[in-house]
Amino acid sequence: MKPLASRFSFYVGFVVGTVLLYVILRPVWFEGIQLAGNYGKLSDRQQQLDKDKGIWKKERSALFNLDHPHHTGEDSRMADELYNKVRILCWVMTGPNNLETKARHVKYTWSRHCNIVIFMSSVEDPDFPTVGLGTKEGRDQLYWKTIKAFHYAYEHHANEADWFLKADDDTYVIVDNLRWMLANHTPDEPIYFGRRFKPYTKQGYMSGGAGYVLSREALRRFVEGFKNKVCTHTTSVEDLAMGQCMEKVGVLAGDSRDTAQRETFHPFVPEQHLTAKFPKSFWYWSYCYYPISEGSNCCSDVSVSFHYVDAGGMYLLEYYAYHLRAFGYRYRYQPPTPKAYRLELSNSLDSAGELKEGTSGVKEHGDDDLPRPDQGQDAGPPPVVGKDAAAAPV
């Protein structure tokens, strides 16, 4: 009797013990995982700083790109060649309130393709890092910030880059395409490029939001102009003031369109350029220097910039430009190789190209549509697609 009873109690005890511990462990386990999660978050900032070390070299508030992004399986010889020969310093107009909401996304997307990137703010931030320009914030400060930013770039980095790009923290720039466009010019030319607007100036001026890029010579003349008081703070409308100064110091307003006359710098997001029907009264129609194309001809295949891009839009454009692609697809528009680079790379690329012709499967599909290198445009107007959009924001 006794041993049976005690054995029975043993089994009961065993079951009770198992169940009890399960019930106790469940919340403890859960909490443990949560704690581990919190610990993870604390070390996130540290992780971020560590990750940055692999990408950038921080020096004097500028980020020097150590290794511009590459894709597995891609042949980026041309892009690498241009990266080394057409050095671009990108400076991004931002402010202390925009660092985490806007500038951060620029930092982790397109600015990685610049040779050097500097974030210009009114206040210095050694961690981000940003340069403190010593101005206040606000629309009326824009030209002051621009003047000081370009002066900073000239004083600290004049010999480390060939071209100097200004962008906003809501501008997305495809820097590789900027290099293609600039490759046919030299940094000693007094020239600057962007989305050309026509009013108020003789030769036009470049839209601030769409970003614009100065040659080293243009930057030198800009700084000189302020020294000699040829250029002054004429207006707080930054892009117009810039255009006025450029005109005064003899810097040419360049034509940034591709060989099919399609625009490369864009003052709005792709959706608006591709689908919106701007009303004729909209300022855009009277501002653009060159004829406006709506629909698919609005934008070059090698577009350089878009404006009013929000955080999600930055990553989306990065995905579209650098990641998502159609396997084996042959693009209609083939941007011609920049003249100075044809001889250098032609040997290696041509032989590789010949091999490629032999192995590629040829579909009967669109043979007549194969573009010649200098042509790009197809005949016929683009179809009318998309709803009528309300006027785009200014």
Partner 1 sequence: MLSERGSFMKGMVLGGVFCLVLSLLGSFSPITESKTEDHHHHHVKAASKDELQQLSESRLQELNNQLQISCVIMVQPKNLVYWAAALDTWTKHCDKAEFYTSESSKALEAIDLNEKDDWARLHKALKHAYENAGNIRWFFVAQPSTFAIIENLKYLVLTKNPEQPFYLGKTVKSGELEYVEFNGGIVLSYEALKRLVNVFQDEDKCPERQSALWKLSEDKQLAVCLKFTGVFAENGEDVHGKGLFNSRSVDNLISESMDQNPNNVVKGCCSDMAITFSSMSPNQMQVMMFGVYRLRPYGHDFQDILTFYPPKGSDND
Of 320-339, binders to partner 1 (CB under 8 A) are: 320-333, 335
Residue 316 parent element (H or E): helix 311-318
d(CA 240, CA 263): 20
Q: Does 49 bind partner 1 (CB under 8 A)?
A: no
Q: Does 385 bind partner 1 (CB under 8 A)?
A: yes
Pick the piece of the chain touching partner 1 (CB under 8 A) from 79-87, 137-145, 158-166, 203-211.
79-87
Residue (10 or 285) nearer to partner 1, CB: 10
The HSE-up count of residue 102 (CA atoms within 13 Å, CB side) is 20
Helix (H, G, I), strand (E, B) or coil at 24: helix
Q: Does 101 bind partner 1 (CB under 8 A)?
A: no
Minimum distance, C-beta of residue 327 to partner 1, in the bound complex (Å) = 4
Is the distance from CB of 210 to CB of 308 less than 8 angstroms?
A: no
| Secondary structure string (H, E, C) spanning 225-245 | HHHCCCCCCCCCCHHHHHHHH
Residue (109 or 121) nearer to partner 1, CB: 109
For partner 1 (CB under 8 A), the number of binding residues is 101
Minimum distance, C-beta of residue 332 to partner 1, in the bound complex (Å) = 5
DSSP class per residue in 121-180: ESS-BTTTTEEE-S---SGGGHHHHHHHHHHHHHHHHTTT-SEEEEEETTEEE-HHHHHH
Minimum distance, C-beta of residue 282 to partner 1, in the bound complex (Å) = 18
Q: Does 292 bind partner 1 (CB under 8 A)?
A: no
Q: Which of 257, 289, 92 is nearest to 180 (CA)?
A: 257
Q: Does 25 bind partner 1 (CB under 8 A)?
A: yes
Taking CB under 8 A as the criterion, which residues in 144-183 touch partner 1? 174-177, 179-180
Q: Does 383 bind partner 1 (CB under 8 A)?
A: yes
State the burial class of residue 339 (Cβ atoms within 10 Å of its Cβ: 0-12, 13-18, 19+).
Answer: exposed
Binder of partner 1 out of 37, 54, 291, 361 (CB under 8 A): 361
Q: Does 380 bind partner 1 (CB under 8 A)?
A: yes
d(CA 52, CA 46): 10
Is the distance from CB of 92 to CB of 120 less than 8 angstroms?
A: yes
Minimum distance, C-beta of residue 392 to partner 1, in the bound complex (Å) = 13
d(CA 219, CA 35): 53
Q: Does 283 bind partner 1 (CB under 8 A)?
A: no
Minimum distance, C-beta of residue 300 to partner 1, in the bound complex (Å) = 8
Structure tokens at 157: 């980095």
Binder of partner 1 out of 34, 38, 43, 48 (CB under 8 A): 48
Residue (37 or 312) nearer to partner 1, CB: 312
Binder of partner 1 out of 280, 339, 365, 372 (CB under 8 A): 365
Taking CB under 8 A as the criterion, which residues in 52-71 touch partner 1? 71
Minimum distance, C-beta of residue 113 to partner 1, in the bound complex (Å) = 8
d(CA 62, CA 119): 8
Per-residue binding letters, 261-280, with partner 1 (x by CB under 8 A) = ---------xx--xx-----
Strand partners, 65: 56
